[in-house]
Structure 1
Amino acid sequence: MTSRRVLVALAVSGLGLMSCDPAAGVDNKPETPKPDTVLPDTGWELVWQDEFDGPAGSLPASERWRPEVGGDGWGNGQFEYNTNRAQNASLDGEGHLAITARKERFQGNDYTSARLSTKGRFTHTYGRIEARIMLPAGRGIWPAFWMLGADVDQVGWPECGEIDIMEHRGQIPSIVRSSLHGPGYSGGQNIGREHAVGGGKLQTDFHVYAVEIEPGRVRFMLDETVYFEATPDNLPSGRKWVYDHPFFIILNVAVGGSFVGPPDSSTVFPQTMKVDYVRVYARPTP
């Protein structure tokens, strides 16, 4: 556990789905310098980052991110076709990445969006991975910040391991979920927890979503509040812990799917997830 003060939040249970009006958020990003190479009071050292600085409409840096293109449902019954177009993923000229889901007929799908990953560009084994994000809103909108084991092409899913740092149902304004998927505890049987955010909607402000991965331990945070920590003891009996190897990062906004259900007449499009930065830290080598 790091030395900074944290609060352990209780799991949120028994929450039903509710509709909400999409909120048009404004950036309250403070005017701060670029991050120091060391995260204060923790010993974490910055090893990789994207601050998303650049002209409006420009594509994410290809040396850091690759678009994962397709529209076959991604194993979750999603409705969107993920493209490599600037209309779905581009810089906004104000220091953010904008991933935008649109209602439009494209390649046989009724919606478009984007899914970006660092696969083949960057992987990391142990460390702190964080992003500052403002979420989209609306029934059937499913934004996520997550990781997959870099050996996914060799061993398949869920044997590679999946770390969901943050996923969100757009129809529930104040709830996020974090979870682990592995062999024998994946999909609806994952090991995870939901967390409620007080004092406002996730769609009207930026929040920092983070995971800290150490040997035999993964902890999840929102704005430095630790609300879920998992170790091999949390797994079903006899199941394998698969988080002590390299992972790559994914950012995406899905439309529909098993986690959120379909959009309906209350869902307003387009919907955009704004990402202020993604930063990766590691412990210094002795």
Structure 2
Amino acid sequence: MFKYISVLILLLVGCKSSKMETLSTKEWNIIWEDNFDKDKVLDHSKWTKIKRNKADWGNYMTDYEGCFEIKNGNLHLKGIQKPDHINDTVPYLTGGVETKGKFSFQYGKIEIKAKLDSGKGVWPAIWMLADQPKYGKYPRNGEIDIMEHLNYENKIYQTVHSYYTLVLKEKENPPYYSTTEVNTENFNVYGLEWYPDKLVFTLNGKKTFEYPRLDNVDKTQWPFDQPFYLMIDMQIEGSWVGEADPKDLPVEMIIDWVKVYQ
């Protein structure tokens, strides 16, 4: 009898260990990507140029060709001084792209290899928004900021926004953002692993910050149970980053590739 129980225990432990190993060594499969190496033009089946909007970050967004360039297998998103002010008096123009209406996903891993210019009032960002208003108007559907960089800082911000953090001001249960040192003069891989119970932020494949789904808190803490789309933009100015210095322009964010896995 004792021998039978011992064998049963060993079998159960073995099954559990095998399952844990399978989960921890799971191979990710690419479901969507762009390497920007096939043509010298933007693939409009995947991307849309972000237009100007009333958001704090969107004052200078444009589809002006001078803010976009694909060369040597890289996408260059630029921030420039506006060439003329005849019909439009804004001082700057900035380039950005999004997958809204063309690609969104729920759960998985996303990585973006990019190099960032620095400058006063310069604010490159890689982030995600919900594809549909499942829970109502912003910020009820949440926002995932994979990477934001400000001015000349030697760090990036990785942040989660929602009704829970912005309206209810629940920013410590759990902590809603983290910063990580980075050399922006080099290409770095900015990433996110998205699970049903947590968001795991990464830099060059290493975990930097984790935002967990909590029980026994307001349900608005976790709107991340729906498809999100991707936005990549070279932003200039805003209440957070401050005013730009024209002497620092032009600037650009160079994107080598974007990959989404599940």
Q: Same fold (TM over 0.5)?
A: yes
Secondary structure of the equivalent of 1:109?
A: coil
Q: What is the CA-CA distance between 1:154 and the residue it aligns to?
A: 7.4
Q: Deviations over 1:69-103 (max 9, x none)?
A: 1153x2x2x474211122112212x0000000001
Do the aligned partners of 1:132 and 1:208 also contact (CA within 8 Å) in 2?
Answer: yes
Counterpart among 24, 30, 35 of residue 51 in structure 1: 35
Q: What is the CA–CA distance in structure 2 between the aligned matches of 1:158 and 1:167, rounded to whole Å?
A: 18
Structure 2 match to 1:109:
90
Question: More deviation in 248-257 or 234-243?
Answer: 234-243
Q: What is the CA–CA distance in structure 1 between the aligned matches of 2:58 and 2:99, rounded to whole Å?
A: 23
Do the aligned partners of 1:79 and 1:256 also contact (CA within 8 Å) in 2?
Answer: no
Structure 2 match to 1:244:
225
The 5 Å alignment of 1:1-286 reads 42-56=26-40, 58=41, 60-72=42-54, 74=55, 76=56, 78=57, 80-92=59-71, 94-104=72-82, 105=84, 107-152=88-133, 155-172=136-153, 174-186=154-166, 191-197=176-182, 201-202=183-184, 204-233=185-214, 239-264=220-245, 267-282=247-262
Paired residue type of 1:53 = D
Secondary structure of the equivalent of 1:87?
A: helix
Q: Deviations over 1:23-48 (max 9, x none)?
A: xxxxxxxxxxxxxxxxxx54110000
TM-score by length of 2: 0.81
Q: What is the CA–CA distance in structure 2 between the aligned matches of 1:251 and 1:212, rounded to whole Å?
A: 17
Q: What is the CA–CA distance in structure 2 between the aligned matches of 1:51 and 1:182, rounded to whole Å?
A: 31
Do the aligned partners of 1:146 and 1:251 also contact (CA within 8 Å) in 2?
Answer: yes
Unaligned runs of 5+ in 1: 1-40
Secondary structure of the equivalent of 1:184?
A: helix
Count of residues paired in the alignment? 230
Do the aligned partners of 2:52 and 2:58 also contact (CA within 8 Å) in 1?
Answer: no
RMSD: 2.3
Secondary structure of the equivalent of 2:60?
A: strand
Q: What is the CA–CA distance in structure 1 between the aligned matches of 2:221 and 2:245, rounded to whole Å?
A: 39
Q: What is the CA–CA distance in structure 2 between the aligned matches of 1:99 and 1:236, rounded to whole Å?
A: 40
Taking structure 1 as reference, are residues 81 and 46 closer, same or farther at Cα in structure 2, changes over 3 Å only? same
TM-score by length of 1: 0.74
Percent identical among aligned pairs is: 27
Secondary structure of the equivalent of 1:84?
A: coil
Taking structure 1 as reference, are residues 240 and 255 closer, same or farther at Cα in structure 2, changes over 3 Å only? same
Q: Which of 1 and 2 has greater Rg?
A: 2
